[in-house]
Chain A
Amino acid sequence: MNGGEKIVETLGIRKVYEMGSHKVEALRGLDFSVKPGEFVGIMGPSGSGKSTLMHIIGCLERATEGTYLLGGQDISSISDRDLSLMRANQIGFVFQTFSLISQYNVFENVEIPFLYRKETRNEARRLAEKAIERVGLSERRYHRPSELSGGEMQRVAIARALAVDPLLILADEPTGNLDSETSKNIISLFQDLNEQGTTLIVVTHEKEVASHCQTIYHLIDGQIVNDEGSA
């Protein structure tokens, strides 16, 4: 299998949203792949299908057509339950809008994924602590999201994504709501993670952010137009 080479591989992915008689084709036959340890950037105008692609790669929804291999495994047509398992075990998500649960403190937020995994209580606690330490928020682990700045909240989200040691981390415009200084912070955090071996796919509008990526794909109207990369 050639999957050993690639963590993510999509072949002719199409995604069609049907709204009554009206159809929206968000992705139109997309071939896309990511190698282990790669730091991939995805750029493109609004509505070009970036989020849709991330959702498919992140096992949140299935493509209408095409094949998707994650870690060499074809998951184009697995059950909803198995998709959930893939998300729990292989994927870390970071979203644009802050995706923390407001009634939980930092530590509890980072612990959420372990609710849906097999680790024991103690192991979960240890891994969560470690992840919080990696994003440099150990001091604030008992604070509520409302007591954190936007950048700090995003770091908590990153800690939550990497706590389970996923195959890859997906970030959909992680700096979209942050000022440029904080954005730099987050990006350098991503870069650190990448240097330590984490595979990353980041959607962004910002050239500044994209400049850190090894590979950049441009999406227009649900298709990849060209690679601009420095491997």
Chain B
Amino acid sequence: MKWDKILRDAWRALFRHRLRSFLSSLGIVFAVMAVVGMLSIAEGAKQEILDQIERLGTNSVIVRSLQLTKAQEADPRRRLSQGLVLSDANALKNTIHTISNVAPVKEVKASLPISIAQDPFEILAVTESYQLAKNLTVRQGRFVSVTDVVRKNLVCVLGEEVSRLLGDGGHLGEALRLEHRTYRIVGILHKRQWKYSKSPALAVRNYNRVIFIPMGTEVTDVHEQTRFGEISEIWLRVARNENVQACAEAVRRILNQKHGGVEDFQVIVPQELLIQAQKTQRIFNIILGCIAGISLLVGGIGIMNTMLASVAERTREIGIRRAIGAAQEHIVVQFLCEAIVLTTTGGCIGIILGAGSAVIISKVAGWKTVLTVWSVIVSILMAGGVGLVSGLYPAVKAARLEPVRALRHE
């Protein structure tokens, strides 16, 4: 078969009735546009969430201290708990064997040096385990060490941006004054990618803007009423991925017991969030599939209608072609090609419109959208498939026409 000629003829036949072709392919255009647009949004959302979960680490469990509400504050039972404290971290470490790393963190409120005071920097009191928990890499010097924690050495490690903003005062060995204590800079971290996140549960710290000091060396503001040993977070790392769920359960149970049922902590399991995200994704996919299916069905009916009309008005042409040698399969191929060209062209327009609307949505709504090659291929195949299915009946009908009868047709 001479495919270039067949395709050219299909194009011509469609172009001759361009308005009709255009109108009949609108269904496909919109179906594909909706599919591509929605897939881009879904893909964008998925990547964003996966990114954040990835950053938290799928094999970590995070315990975060929670501020009590007014009502809980009034409940006398709250006295049973002293909040999230260092001993919680130790208890978890000693009871749960699947945990490979425990990193308690305390957010410290202290006044910063004047040169960086106006920027939102964070001071974190940590142990040496924190480096492993967050995969922090040191560019110069070292991280907070065990000895620092045990001896309560007045040393600090700076995030890249902190060091840069401090200028000369931000080099190794320089002194940094926090509140009324002076810390010696022993390490500077590598610059780290950071992205703003809307979801607070998934929020990730910007480590470029953090000053680390050894746990226990922090002096808190006299006005601040923190209890002894209270910490903000505990980062647990589980050795094996499959133990994460069980570990999270154990953490909840142990802490509930220790805190006498007071809900002053929150356990965040990135792996659970991932599963949740996948579940949402699945629901979204089903809805998307239904919408796409219905609109493609409607679009396909439109195409079939047009092709039937086309066959009817070209009966004589079919007769002529048959008389000069076309076999049934040639006629089938001719009309099938026409239908497929019609729908794939509609599909291509739909992809362009869908990609365009994804761009507009990301501009207007601020959502991340991602156009994948995969979704483009699927859309084109889908459009072509609709052409194949809806063109088949008209094409076979055309081919089954008796040549003589077709020739006598006016």
Contacts and interface: CB of A to CB of B under 8 A. Distances in A.
Given A93-B324, A115-B5, A115-B330, A103 B16 contact: yes
B2 interface: yes
Interface stretch (A4-12, A84-92, A134-142, A146-154): A84-92
Interface residues of B, number: 22
Interface residues of A, number: 27
B327 A116 contact: yes
A98 B218 CA distance: 100
Contacts of B12: 103
Nearest to A99: B320
B54 to A, nearest CB: 55
A55 B402 CA distance: 12
Given A103-B12, A103-B16, A87 B324 contact: yes
Given A60-B403, A60-B404, A95-B407, A112 B328 contact: no
Contacts of B184: none
B2 A115 contact: yes
Interface in B66-124: none
A71 interface: no
B323 interface: yes
Contacts of A116: 321, 324-327, 330
Contacts of B329: 81
A101 B328 CA distance: 18
Contacts of B327: 80-81, 84-85, 88, 116
Contacts of B5: 115
Contacts of A55: 404
Contacts of B404: 55, 60-61
Contacts of B328: 80-81, 84
Interface string A66-90: 0000000000000011001101110
A160 B323 CA distance: 12
A44 interface: no
Contacts of A95: 323, 407
A88 B324 contact: yes
A58 interface: yes
B323 A93 contact: yes
12 contacts: A80-B327, A81-B329, A84-B326, A84-B330, A87-B323, A88-B326, A95-B407, A99-B320, A103-B13, A113-B325, A116-B324, A116-B330
The 5 closest A-B pairs by CB, nearest first: A88-B325, A84-B327, A116-B325, A87-B325, A113-B324
